[in-house]
C-alpha cells in the first residue's frame, strides 16, 4: 500500500516520540521515572465540578448527541468569565464557541481560514499545534521570536514586508508554552495596531491565563480596543480547573472567524459529552477559590524545583507563569543538544523532561520541565540530578588529562 500521504509527508519527525519510547522502555524494566515531560495536570478536579458531572450523567436525556458549538448555558458562562476577568463583553451566540480543548480548536481554525500556500506567522519556540495545525492545512510557516521585546515588532514588520504572499495570520501565545514569557497590554496594543493596518488575523492562545505567579494577572488581547475586529482567543479549562482529560476549551472573539470555526467544527464533531459541558458550566459559574488553590500548588512546586535543582548544580530560571520551567542545558552538555541531553537525563537520572528542539529550532539548548510532580518527587529528582551531574563532571575531568597527554610531544 502506498504510504507517502501528502499531509503526512509535510510533518517533521515527532521529536518527543524518541524520549517517550525510552521512557516506556524504562518503566517496562521497572524503573521509577520522575516524569516532568508532558504538561499533564496531576491534581484532582475540584469536587463540585465532579459532583455536577455525576448528577448530570444520571439523566438519560444527556446521553444523546450534544451541540457542536456548545450548549447555551456554557457559552453564556464563558462570556461572563471574560466580562469579570478581563472586562470584555462578548455575545455568547455569535462570539463564543465551546471546543474539544484549545489544541483541537487551533487545528479546526487552521482548517477554516487557511488556503494552500498561505503564509502564517508563528513564534519559535512554541507549542507544536500552533505550527503543525497550519502545515496540515496547507499553510507555509514563517517564524518570529517568541518574545515581547522590541525585536518582536521589528521581526513582525520585516516578515510582513518581505513575505510573498503577504501573511494572512499571526499566532500569539502568552503566557507562553514552553518559555513562560508573559505579555502586557502595551505589547498587545502594538500588535493590534499593526495587525489592523496590515489586514492580519491574530490567533491568541491564552490557555495559561490563570496560572501566573508574579505581577498582575495576564491580560487578554481582546481588552485592547479594536482587537475584536481581527482577533480570536483560545482558552482551556485543563489547567485552570485541573480538567485535562475532560477536553473542554473555548474560542472567542471576532464573529466572522468564530462563524468560520463553528461551521468547520459542525462537520467534524457533535461537541463534548453534555454532562461534561454542564460540569464545565458549573466550573465557570461556581466558586473560584479552587483556581487560587491550584495556582498555589503550582507556585510551591515552582519554588521547590528552582531551589532544589539549582542547589543540585543546574540553575533553573524561575518562570513567572504557566506550569513549566524553561531551562538552559548545563554547560557541560551544551555540545550534545537538547534531545541527547534529555535521553541522557532519563537514562542516568530517571528524570524525564521535554527537549527544547521539539518546540522549534530556536528551542535548541533548552529543555521544558513540567510542574506535574509533587514536591517530594521534585526533591528526589534534584537528588538524582545532583548525582548525575557529579558523576558526569568527574568522568569529564578524568578524560581531559588523557587527551592532553596524547597530544604531548616528547
Q: What is the CATH number of domain 51-287?
A: 3.40.640.10
- 3-state DSSP: the chain helix, strand, coil percent, rounded to 5? 50, 15, 35
The pLDDT of residue 405: 40
Domain 6-44+289-393, CATH among 3.40.50.10470, 2.40.50.100, 3.90.1150.10, 3.40.190.10: 3.90.1150.10
Cα dihedral value 342, 126, 101, 280, nearest 10? 90
Rg (CA), the chain: 23
Q: Which regions of the chain carry the CATH code 3.40.640.10?
A: 51-287
Q: Are 386 and 62 in contact (CB under 8 A)?
A: no
Q: Are 34 and 352 in contact (CB under 8 A)?
A: yes
Cell reading at 11: 510533518
Provide the greatest CA pair distance for the chain: 90
The pLDDT of residue 406: 41
What is the rounded distance in angstroms from the CA atom of residue 254 to the CA atom of residue 265? 16
Identify any residues that bridge with 124 across adjacent strands, giving them in sequence order. 145
Q: Which regions of the chain carry the CATH code 3.90.1150.10?
A: 6-44+289-393
Q: 182: which DSSP letter?
A: -
The pLDDT of residue 400: 44
The pLDDT of residue 397: 56
Q: What sign does the dihedral 289-180-41-78 (CA atoms) show?
A: positive
**Residue in the block written with cell 485543563:** 238
What is the rounded distance in angstroms from the CA atom of residue 287 to the CA atom of residue 82? 16
The pLDDT of residue 210: 97
Each of the 410 residues of the chain gets a pLDDT tens digit; together they read: 556 777 777 777 677 787 888 888 888 888 899 999 988 999 999 999 999 999 999 999 999 989 889 999 999 999 999 999 999 999 999 999 999 988 889 999 999 999 999 999 999 999 999 999 999 899 999 999 988 888 899 999 999 999 989 999 999 999 999 999 999 999 999 999 999 999 999 999 999 999 999 888 999 999 999 999 999 999 999 999 999 999 999 999 999 999 999 999 998 888 999 999 999 999 999 999 999 999 999 999 999 999 999 999 999 999 999 999 999 999 999 999 999 999 999 999 999 999 999 999 999 999 999 999 999 999 999 999 999 999 888 876 554 443 334 443 33
pTM: 0.91
Q: Are 385 and 351 in contact (CB under 8 A)?
A: yes
Contacts of 344 (CB under 8 A, 6+ apart): 333, 336
The pLDDT of residue 2: 55
Q: Does the bond joining 165 to the residue before it have cis omega, within 30 degrees of 0?
A: yes
Please give the distance of CA 223 from its chain centroid, rounded to a whole number: 22
What is the rounded distance in angstroms from the CA atom of residue 189 to the CA atom of residue 191? 5
What is the rounded distance in angstroms from the CA atom of residue 382 to the CA atom of residue 310? 8
Q: Are 134 and 114 in contact (CB under 8 A)?
A: yes
Amino acid at each position: 500500500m502506498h504510504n507517502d500521504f501528502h499531509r503526512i509527508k509535510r510533518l517533521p519527525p515527532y521529536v518527543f516520540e524518541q524520549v517517550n519510547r525510552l521512557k516506556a522502555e524504562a518503566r517496562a524494566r521497572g524503573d521509577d521515572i520522575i516524569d516532568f515531560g508532558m504538561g499533564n495536570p496531576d491534581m484532582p478536579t475540584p469536587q463540585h465540578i465532579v459532583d455536577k458531572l455525576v448528577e448530570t450523567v444520571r439523566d438519560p436525556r444527556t446521553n444523546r448527541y450534544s451541540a457542536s458549538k456548545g450548549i447555551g448555558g456554557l457559552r453564556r458562562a464563558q462570556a461572563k468569565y471574560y466580562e469579570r476577568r478581563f472586562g470584555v463583553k462578548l455575545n455568547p451566540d455569535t462570539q463564543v464557541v465551546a471546543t474539544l480543548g484549545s489544541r483541537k480548536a487551533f487545528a479546526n481554525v487552521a482548517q477554516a481560514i487557511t488556503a494552500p500556500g498561505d503564509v502564517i506567522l508563528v513564534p519559535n519556540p512554541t507549542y507544536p499545534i500552533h505550527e503543525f495545525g497550519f502545515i496540515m492545512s496547507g499553510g507555509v510557516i514563517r517564524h518570529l521570536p517568541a518574545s515581547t521585546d522590541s525585536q518582536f515588532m521589528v521581526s513582525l514588520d520585516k516578515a510582513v514586508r518581505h513575505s510573498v504572499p503577504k501573511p494572512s495570520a499571526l499566532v500569539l501565545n502568552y503566557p507562553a508554552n514552553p518559555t513562560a514569557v508573559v505579555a502586557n497590554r502595551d505589547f498587545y496594543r502594538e500588535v493590534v495596531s499593526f495587525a489592523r493596518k496590515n489586514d492580519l488575523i491574530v490567533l491568541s492562545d491564552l490557555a495559561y491565563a490563570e496560572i501566573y505567579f508574579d505581577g498582575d494577572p495576564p491580560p487578554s488581547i481582546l481588552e485592547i480596543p479594536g482587537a475584536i475586529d481581527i482577533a480570536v482567543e483560545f482558552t482551556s479549562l485543563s489547567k485552570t480547573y485541573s480538567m485535562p482529560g475532560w477536553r473542554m476549551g473555548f474560542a472567542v472573539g471576532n464573529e466572522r472567524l468564530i462563524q468560520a470555526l463553528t461551521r468547520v467544527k459542525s462537520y467534524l464533531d457533535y461537541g463534548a459529552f453534555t454532562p461534561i459541558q454542564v460540569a464545565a458550566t458549573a466550573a465557570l459559574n461556581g466558586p473560584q477559590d479552587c483556581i487560587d488553590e491550584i495556582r498555589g500548588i503550582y507556585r510551591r512546586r515552582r519554588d521547590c524545583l528552582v531551589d532544589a535543582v539549582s542547589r543540585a548544580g543546574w540553575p533553573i530560571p524561575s518562570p513567572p507563569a504557566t506550569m513549566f520551567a524553561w531551562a538552559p542545558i548545563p554547560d557541560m552538555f551544551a555540545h550534545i543538544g537538547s534531545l541527547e541531553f534529555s535521553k541522557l537525563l532519563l537514562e542516568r537520572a530517571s528524570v524525564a523532561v521535554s527537549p527544547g528542539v521539539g518546540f522549534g529550532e530556536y528551542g535548541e539548548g533548552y529543555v521544558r520541565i513540567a510542574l506535574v510532580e509533587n514536591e517530594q518527587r521534585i526533591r528526589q529528582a534534584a537528588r538524582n540530578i545532583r548525582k548525575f551531574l557529579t558523576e558526569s563532571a568527574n568522568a569529564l575531568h578524568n578524560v581531559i588529562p588523557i587527551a592532553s597527554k596524547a597530544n604531548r610531544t616528547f
